[in-house]
Amino acid sequence: MPEGDTIFRTAQTLNLALAGRTVTRFVSDYPALTRIDEDAPIVGRAIVRVESRGKHLLLHVGPAVEPATAYAGPLALRSHMRMSGSWHLYRPGERWAESRARIRMETDTWIAAAFGVHDVEWLDARALARHPALRALGPDLLADDFDEDAALTRLRQLGDTPIADALLDQRALAGIGNVYKSETLFLERLHPATRVSDITDDALKALVARATRLLTINAQGSGQGLETYRGLRKTTDRSHPAERLWVYSRGGRPCRRCGARISFARMGRDVRGTYWCPSCQPDRT
């Protein structure tokens, strides 16, 4: 499941491979993308940079070679991975892990292919600045200028919202998904149903700091190689693939800390799966 660390590492890897290169081919099975390509061709444009904003990935290209329409200026391809989307990098002629790419952008040295993405669009500078989902994002946990105070203020504004829901609210802070929600709450010994209003300032600050550390540790390594993120997340101090997480996806199994059976329930506004230890994270609601 793509979360903030996945998108961050994917953006860093794509940026390393593509930035500064010229698009030699662009193909997509999304009519909304190909219409703009027909009016103001993507081929011939320079790829300026690739960045992440929360769970959104933005691939920026420069102006069209022969300006002719409103979309001939710089554009950003916004994609959201949802539950199963991904971007892959391939050398020309290399065998693909999947067969059907929804988007294919080529340069002379690399092919960037998007699989399983369902939320994509080309945005000009004005639309990018005004995009409602991007404007609504809270502070990005992986951003260099992450504003912890602003994130805490936004969380506090959620009042009686259960903390499990609050952590997933990208308008409060951007980047946390289901895995880090469960893992962070376990490590900070907070039951997922605890209301934000019942959490002390110190505990809420520690929770945000913990989430930031977990995402940062798992995002490390970006730019060190040209492979989009396919590794296993790690929140424990163990290296074995089956022992890298504390509670996530371990319903009914013994807690690594106390031995109690890990609980699982679909809860909250979006009925998202949540894991917790009833002993380490007692319900005080």
Contact 58, 76 (CB under 8 A): yes
Cα–Cα distance between 205 and 103 in angstroms, integer? 40
Distance CA 125, CA 129 (A): 6
Q: Where are the alpha helices (DSSP H) in 40-177?
A: 125-130, 132-136, 148-156, 163-168
> How deeply is 216 buried, as exposed, middle or buried, from its count of CB atoms within 10 A (0-12, 13-18, 19+)?
middle
CB 238 within 8 A of CB 210: no
Which residues are marked as active site?
2-3, 55
Instruction: State whether residue 135 is helix, strand or coil.
Output: helix
